Amino acid sequence: MGGISIEDVSVSYAGNRVIERLSLTIPNGSFFTLLGPSGCGKTTLLRMLAGFLPVESGRIRFGETDVTETPPHRRDIGMVFQDYALFPDKTVFDNVAYGLRARKRDEATIRRKTGEYLERVGLSGFEARRPAELSGGQRQRVALARALVIAPRLLLMDEPLSNLDAKLRVQVRETIHDLQRESAITTVFVTHDQEEALALSDAIGLMRAGKIEQMGPPGEIYAAPVSSYVADFVGAANVVAIRLAGGVEAGGPARFRLANQDIAARAVSWLNEGEAWLLARPEDILLLPTGSGSGLAATILRRQYLGSRTHYRVRLGDDGPVLTVECTGADHARFAPGESVEAVLEPARTLVAPR
Amino acid sequence: MNSRAITTNVWFWLSLAALIVLGVFILYPLINVLASSFGAARADGRSGWQILLAEPKYLRAVSNTVLLGLVVTLTTTLIGVPLAYVTARFRFPGKALIAILPLTTLIVPEVIAAQTWLMMLGNNGLITRTLGGWGIPVPSFYGWSGLIIVMTFIYYTYIYMGTLAAIRGFDQQLEQAAQSLGAAPGRARLDVMLPVVLPAILASALLVFTLVVGNFAVATILGHKVELLSVITYQTFVSEIGNDPVMQSTLASVSIGIVAIALFVQRFVLSRGRYEITLGRGAKPVDIKGAPAFALAGAAAVVVLISLLPLASVIAGAFTRARGPVMRWGEWTTANLERVLINAPDPIINTLIYAGIATALSLIFSTGVSYLLVKKRNALTPAIDYLAALPLALSGTVIGIGLVMSFNQGWLSLTGTAAIIVLAYLIRRLPFGVRNASSTLYNIPNSIEEASISLGVPPLRSFVAVVLPLMIPAIAAAGVLVWTTTVAELSASIVVYSGGRETLPIQIFRLIDSGLMAQASAYGLVLVSIILIPIVVATTVFRLDIFGAK
């Protein structure tokens, strides 16, 4: 059985073309995240998979089945919403049992399955409560159990963690991770939070203006962004304007001058001569005391001590660009503002992307 | 076949059906009224508008109506706004009494309010005769003084409630911010609070103005020599000379025009300063003690007592022996009640049947329409929204005349049936029902319905299984309110009813006209009970928040 495939799909919403001829395949059993800023079309794509939004053109297939014209209640999906969408007048048990009852399972099965999934989300003993008597994290666990208990063909999650506070977010995130891995239900997860995406996904589709800018496993998205947009959205990145003296092949070394010094970096794609972006993650820049002789001359402008690490703002040369540098390890806070240092940009992990 | 296109179409066809129903029963009668005012009246070929401009009686009615509307709007504002401010900001002895204010306007129909004031201050009134017996002359209560006093005490609660909600919702931090920037407390309040609360005051003032312009019961019972639009419109309608369709349409059109102008002025005033009003934490009421507390409590008590006067007098009147129009105060009897309950219960039965059917239909129709308006918007829903709100701007008399003109004969002949009374009830209360159901639906997120659908339950069954149960408390509260206002309806039903189909307000009105106050009071007591019992049951047994729904 094949996975979920979206073939050449376009969607308009309120007269605007929100998704433009998008194609995408999600392998069976995998956890796929649609990541992007608000308005990039990720929720539209999710609602289209659910069947709540009609597609203008293109096909959607769940395995071999074409579901493009199938109404949502016949798509066999589970959905988890940002605002939990629990039925407020029903108990926790009745909420979770709702989909099983719609599928006309016998009462013994309903009782057993509901109990099993409530236990899995750590809410055994909460059966008789109503949603108003639960915390936000508990509510989202109920919603998760409700969507999973029917063993859907596809699990859809629309920013399920964004209404939770930071600590709960991590806890529920772990629950989602474990349950999805155990059940191996194909999952599409929508978020604007890159940390969630990196932590949970088998693959991430990073969206921009209705299109997928880059798709790949989290490690690839992070370490090898195809554009300044991806580098900037996933993790923190220093993005500096540079000029290339000549064209460079994809993967080849791009040489350029920065703050009156020669630097080399890897080209993410084929680059023309002229303007380009230099991409360097804060943790990929090394600071050394002056006189080490292997880096660019730089000055510390500001130091922010964060316990396990220190963030510096550093100016290259006398009037060059200002970079953010993250130092860890022993003595990470040893440089003081005003101090002259040397900054090393590792050639293998410093990238040049087209402008 | 595209199944999604079909589901989309179901909502579209339902919208179309709703639009047609509203078009036939609201727009078509309205157009009939407006159009026939341009037809030729009488033998001399003058149009209704030419006669209106030529005859001083009609022009006086127009100017009297506008003047009365303005004066009562002013007096109600002068009572309602300070009362709301005091209630919102201070705690004083007896404040709980003010909480029953909204109840008094609801449970005492206008016709009973007018009647009971007459029983006290009319030519044969208890107070008039008592004071007269002591040699103190009491000025006539008929005409301007009676109209203004009675309407003021009927309508000030609308201003009070509107203003109170706005002041309670006003974020006190704004006022504190103004003070922190150096404004004196009083000045800060005026600068910051007034602009935020003003739209609410204006909205309720406009409501009062339209209610006064459309008022039929008080205007007819107390107007006497003061010509008023609603009165002469009705008189033209029932006139012995054979009813005068052109003149009645012209006069009805004038009252539509007056309300339209008022709505326009309100829009204009509000649009000059548009703010996004953020609801914040309202100020906590402050304790006041000593002389100011007594003054406040005293003033509030006077207002409340006057508001309760009709209720007290209708009870007293119902149990007072009467010989013809003469009330023998102090002589108690149950004869009046026995008479209306045993010998002549028809108005009671009629009222229960007509209002019961109207309330049930109103809830079903307004819930359905609101669902379309809020959850299934399409190209037709803005028109539905507009048409459903239209009766707000029409007085009962105008709605009644429109219905009679439109359904007198032809393909849908309703005159003389009970259906036209139910229809009049439905149309008059429709905007309220729709507004109420819509605001409930807005508070139910779409995701709840979508969650149910995603779990495999089809859309219509999802609505019934998860959305409807959440709406039930609000629908029930709206049902109680629709019921209480429908059983008290007079101005439209008196136009459309036919002999043998008298409702309680109609019967009371006729008895007042004949001066039979004791019997009118007995029917009045029954009417008040019919109103009060559902309210009491709903608020105490089912704990419904009826006044929150308003």
- Residues from chain A that touch B3, judged by Cβ atoms under 8 A, are 69-71
Q: How far apart are the first and last CA of chain A?
A: 41
Among candidate residues A120, A201, A177, A188, the one with its CA nearest the CA of residue A153: A188
**CATH number belonging to domain B14-34+49-549:** 1.10.3720.10
Residue A225 in contact with partner chain B when CB distance is under 8 A:
no
* pLDDT tens profile B467-501: 989 888 888 888 888 899 899 999 999 999 988 89
- Specify whether the CB–CB gap between A50 and B4 falls below 8 A: no
- Specify whether the CB–CB gap between A151 and A96 falls below 8 A: no
Look over chain B and give the mean of its residue pLDDT values, rounded to a whole number. 84
DSSP letter string over B86-155? HHHHEE-TTGGGGGGHHHHHHHS-HHHHHHHHHHHHSTT-HHHHHHHHTT------TTHHHHHHHHHHHH
Is residue B42 very low, low, confident or very high in pLDDT (cuts 50, 70, 90)?
A: low
Q: What pLDDT score does B422 carry?
A: 95
Both tokens of residue A310? 């220190």
Distance in Å, alpha carbon of A90 to nearest chain B alpha carbon: 9
Q: What pLDDT score does B311 carry?
A: 86
Among candidate residues A272, A277, A280, the one with its CA nearest the CA of residue A298: A280
Q: What pLDDT score does B48 carry?
A: 77
Instruction: Indicate which of B455, B457, B466, B467 best probes the interface with A, i.e. most A CBs within 10 Å of its own CB.
Output: B455
- H helix or E strand, kind and range, residue A6: strand A4-13
Neighbours of B35 (CB within 10 A): 12
Lowest mean pLDDT of B147-151, B170-174, B310-314, B514-518, name the range.
Answer: B170-174
Residue A102 in contact with partner chain B when CB distance is under 8 A:
yes
Q: What pLDDT score does B8 carry?
A: 57
Both tokens of residue B21? 């129903």
Q: Which of B447, B457, B470 sits opposite A73 (nearest CB)?
A: B457
- Specify whether the CB–CB gap between A113 and A150 falls below 8 A: no
Radius of gyration (Cα) for chain A, nearest Å?
24
* pLDDT tens profile B427-458: 998 988 888 888 888 888 889 999 999 999 99
Sign of CA pseudo-dihedral B254, B255, B258, B263:
negative
Nearest residue on chain A to B460, judged by CA atoms? A73
Question: What is Dmax (Cα atoms) for chain A?
Answer: 78
* Regions in chain A scoring below 50 on pLDDT: none
DSSP letter string over A165-215? -HHHHHHHHHHHHHHHHHH---EEEEES-HHHHHHH-SEEEEEETTEEEEE
Q: What pLDDT score does B274 carry?
A: 52
Integer CA distances (angstroms), A152 to A74, A149, A155, B456, B514, in order: 11, 8, 6, 10, 74
Neighbours of A170 (CB within 10 A): 14
Q: What pLDDT score does B2 carry?
A: 42
- Specify whether the CB–CB gap between B89 and B79 falls below 8 A: no
Q: Which of B7, B454, B462 sits opposite A50 (nearest CB)?
A: B454
* pLDDT tens profile B388-416: 988 988 889 999 999 988 898 777 778 87
Q: What pLDDT score does B77 carry?
A: 95
Among candidate residues B154, B107, B113, B158, the one with its CA nearest the CA of residue B536: B107
Q: What pLDDT score does B550 carry?
A: 37
DSSP SS3 for A261: strand
Q: What pLDDT score does B505 carry?
A: 95
- Residues from chain A that touch B447, judged by Cβ atoms under 8 A, are 81-83, 85
Q: What pLDDT score does B41 carry?
A: 60
Q: How many CA atoms lie within 13 A of A341 on its CB side?
A: 23
Nearest residue on chain A to B467, judged by CA atoms? A87
Burial class (CB in 10 A: 0-12, 13-18, 19+), B15: buried
d(CA A165, CA A73): 32
Neighbours of B217 (CB within 10 A): 26
Q: What pLDDT score does B142 carry?
A: 87
d(CA B514, CA A332): 99
Which of 449-468 (B) contact A at CB < 8 A? Answer: 450-459, 462, 466
- Specify whether the CB–CB gap between B335 and B321 falls below 8 A: yes
d(CA B239, CA B228): 16
Among candidate residues B317, B258, B301, the one with its CA nearest the CA of residue B114: B317
Q: What pLDDT score does B310 carry?
A: 85
> Is pLDDT of B151 > 90?
yes
- Specify whether the CB–CB gap between A254 and A248 falls below 8 A: yes
Mean pLDDT along residues B81-91: 85
DSSP SS3 for A164: coil
Distance in Å, alpha carbon of A206 to nearest chain B alpha carbon: 25
DSSP letter string over A125-141? T-TT--GGGS-HHHHHH
DSSP letter string over B341-373? III--HHHHHHHHHHHHHHHHHHHHHHHHHHHH
> Is pLDDT of B522 > 80?
yes
Q: How many CA atoms lie within 13 A of A247 on its CB side?
A: 4
Residue A66 in contact with partner chain B when CB distance is under 8 A:
no
Q: Which domains, ranges and CATH numbers included, belong to chain A? A: 4-223 (3.40.50.300), 236-354 (2.40.50.140)
B46 vs B14 pLDDT, higher one: B14
Q: How many CA atoms lie within 13 A of B355 on its CB side?
A: 26
Cα-based angle B399, B405, B409 (whole degrees, multiple of 5): 135
Q: What pLDDT score does B1 carry?
A: 35
Is residue B3 very low, low, confident or very high in pLDDT (cuts 50, 70, 90)?
A: very low
Is residue B100 very low, low, confident or very high in pLDDT (cuts 50, 70, 90)?
A: confident
Contacts of B372 (CB under 8 A, 6+ apart): B11, B14, B15, B18, B378, B381, B384
Contacts of B502 (CB under 8 A, 6+ apart): B346, B347, B350, B510
Q: What pLDDT score does B4 carry?
A: 47
Among candidate residues A282, A281, A248, the one with its CA nearest the CA of residue A264: A248
Let me know how many helices (H) and strands (E) chain A has, helices first: 8, 20
DSSP letter string over B411-458? TS--TTSHHHHHHHHHHHHHHHHHHHHHHHHHTS-HHHHHHHHHTT--
d(CA A278, CA A268): 10
- Residues from chain A that touch B451, judged by Cβ atoms under 8 A, are 79, 81, 85-87, 143, 146
Both tokens of residue A133? 């008597």
The fraction of chain B above a pLDDT of 90, given in percent, is 30
Q: What pLDDT score does A322 carry?
A: 93
Interface ipTM > 0.85: no
- The DSSP 8-state label assigned to residue A53 in this structure reads S
Q: How far apart are the first and last CA of chain B?
A: 45
* pLDDT tens profile B108-135: 888 998 888 888 888 878 888 888 888 8
Residue B379 in contact with partner chain A when CB distance is under 8 A:
no
Q: Which of B450, B455, B470 sits opposite A99 (nearest CB)?
A: B455
In this structure, what are the phi and psi dihedrals at residue B51, rounded to the nearest 5 degrees? -65, -40
> Is pLDDT of B176 > 80?
no
Distance in Å, alpha carbon of A70 to nearest chain B alpha carbon: 7
Strands B286-287 and A296-305 come out as unpaired
Q: What are the extents of the domains in chain B?
A: 14-34+49-549
* pLDDT tens profile B213-262: 999 999 999 988 889 999 988 888 887 555 567 888 888 899 889 988 88
Give A66's strand partners: A61
DSSP letter string over A203-243? EEEEEETTEEEEEE-HHHHHHS-SSHHHHHHSS--EEEEEE
Is residue B281 very low, low, confident or very high in pLDDT (cuts 50, 70, 90)?
A: low
Among candidate residues A239, A248, A343, A354, the one with its CA nearest the CA of residue A298: A343
